[in-house]
Each structure stands twice: as C-alpha cells, then as structure tokens.
C-alpha cells in the first residue's frame, strides 16, 4: 500500500513520562481496534475512544492511522530482531535440529499475541521506505548469521549453503506469518515440530 512518507511519520516524540503513557495508550488501543474491526473500519475516532483521549490529542502524536500502523509494525519487527539477536550472545545447541528448533520457536513466539492484528500488519501496513529498508537489513543480517552456522556444521549436507541460508530464513518468516495469521487456528506444537523436521531434513539430506 503506497503512502506519502510525510503522512506516516509520528508528529510528536514524547519527552515526558505522561506524554509517553498517552502514546502507549494510543498504540495499545489501535492494536485492539485493528484486530477487532479490521483496518478499514479501525478509524482514528474508534482508536481515540478506546484510548480515552480526544481525537485532537491523538492527532498531536500521529497524523493518521497509517502512521499508527507503521509504528505497530516497527515495534513488532524490533521485538523480532531483539529476540533473534539474543541468540548471538548465548550458547547454541550442538544438535542441528535443536538449533533449527530454537530459531523456529523464537519466530513463533513473536507472532502469538494476536493473529487478527498480525493479518492487518502483514496485509495492510503502508510500505514505508524506512520500514522496508529495516526489514531488508534485518533479513540480510539474519541470513548471514544462519549461513555462518550451517556452513560449518558437521550435520549439514547441502552444498550451496548460501542459498540454503536464504531458504531457511525466508521459509521460517513466511510460513510462520501465513499460518499463525490464518483464520483457522493451527496447533502450535505440531506446527513447530513439522517445520523443524522439514528444515532439518532439507539441510541434512545429501544431494
């Protein structure tokens, strides 16, 4: 969804605790409104009412609901980046299967809060240039990290580890997004097990 970049930037960055609390209320209310009514019917009036602020106060922080949704997506992305980066400083399992499971479980955990809101973010968020750039840079860094892990792992049989790393990262991202955001609920434990088995089998099968 194209959008005027100037129209999706927050208008006001809170400098005081009270202002930050108001902004948090607006974002929390927006998440509930978008999940309940969808994006088209999730108006700024409904968001302001749910947040218990005047519509004028809301517009002091965000020029429109596009800007609110972009911030929600950015926060979702930041949470995923933080969760993924936490593995870099920790000890990974020796088993390839358990390493893959750690990546899959982390991604699933970042998408369990509200499937309806996840659908709105995935399907209707404005494609802001700075947001797309952030997504691209995160994917590149994640792919490089996974490549380093599988390139030197004794259980990996796939020859083209660069393409393999791209496939692993893209598969986890896309499949987790699609299935957890689907209208029909999926059993998370079975989903995790099957996705781990699929990726581990791909990486450990000699061609």
9 — pLDDT class (breaks 50, 70, 90): low
Q: For 36-53, what is each residue's pLDDT tens digit? A: 888 889 999 999 999 999
Nearest Cα neighbor of 192 from 91, 89, 112, 95 is 112
Taking the C-alpha atoms of residue 170 and residue 19, their distance in angstroms, rounded to an integer, is 38
Structure tokens at 182: 């689907």
User: What pLDDT, on the 0 to 100 scale, is given for residue 199?
Assistant: 97
Q: What is the pLDDT of residue 6?
A: 46
Q: What is the mean pLDDT of the chain?
A: 85
Q: Residue 175 has which token pair?
A: 């499949």
Q: DSSP assignment, residue 92?
A: P
For the entire predicted model, the pTM comes to 0.76
With beta carbons less than 8 A apart as the criterion, state whether 63 and 159 touch: no
pLDDT at 36: 87
Two tokens, residue 192: 């995790």
CB 172 within 8 A of CB 191: no
pLDDT value at 29 more than 80: yes
**Lowest mean pLDDT: which of 89-98, 157-166, 171-180?**
89-98
Mean pLDDT of 98-118: 85
The pLDDT value recorded for residue 140 is: 92
- 116-161 pLDDT, tens digit each: 777 787 777 777 787 788 888 888 989 999 999 999 899 999 999 9
Supply the pLDDT for residue 155: 96
When pLDDT is averaged across residues 67-74 and rounded to a whole number, the result is 87
Mean pLDDT along residues 50-69: 93
Q: If you compute the radius of gyration of the chain from its CA atoms, what whole number of angstroms results?
A: 20
């Amino acid at each position: 969804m194209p959008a005027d970049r100037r129209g999706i930037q927050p208008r006001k960055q809170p400098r005081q605790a009270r202002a930050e609390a108001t902004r948090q209320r607006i974002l929390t209310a927006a998440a509930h409104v978008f999940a309940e009514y969808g994006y088209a019917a999730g108006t700024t009036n409904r968001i302001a009412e749910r947040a218990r602020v005047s519509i004028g106060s809301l517009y002091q922080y965000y020029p429109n609901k596009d800007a609110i949704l972009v911030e929600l997506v950015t926060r979702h992305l930041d949470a995923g980046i933080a969760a993924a980066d936490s593995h870099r400083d920790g000890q990974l399992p020796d088993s390839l299967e358990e390493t893959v499971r750690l990546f899959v479980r982390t991604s699933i955990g970042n998408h369990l809060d509200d499937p309806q809101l996840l659908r709105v973010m995935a399907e209707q968020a404005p494609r802001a240039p700075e947001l797309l750039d952030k997504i691209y840079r995160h994917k590149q860094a994640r792919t490089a990290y996974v490549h380093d892990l599988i390139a030197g792992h004794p259980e990996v049989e796939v020859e083209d580890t660069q393409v393999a790393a791209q496939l692993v990262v893209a598969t986890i991202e896309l499949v987790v997004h699609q299935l957890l955001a689907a209208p029909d609920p999926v059993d998370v434990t079975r989903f995790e097990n099957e996705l781990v088995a699929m990726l581990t089998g791909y990486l450990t099968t000699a061609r």
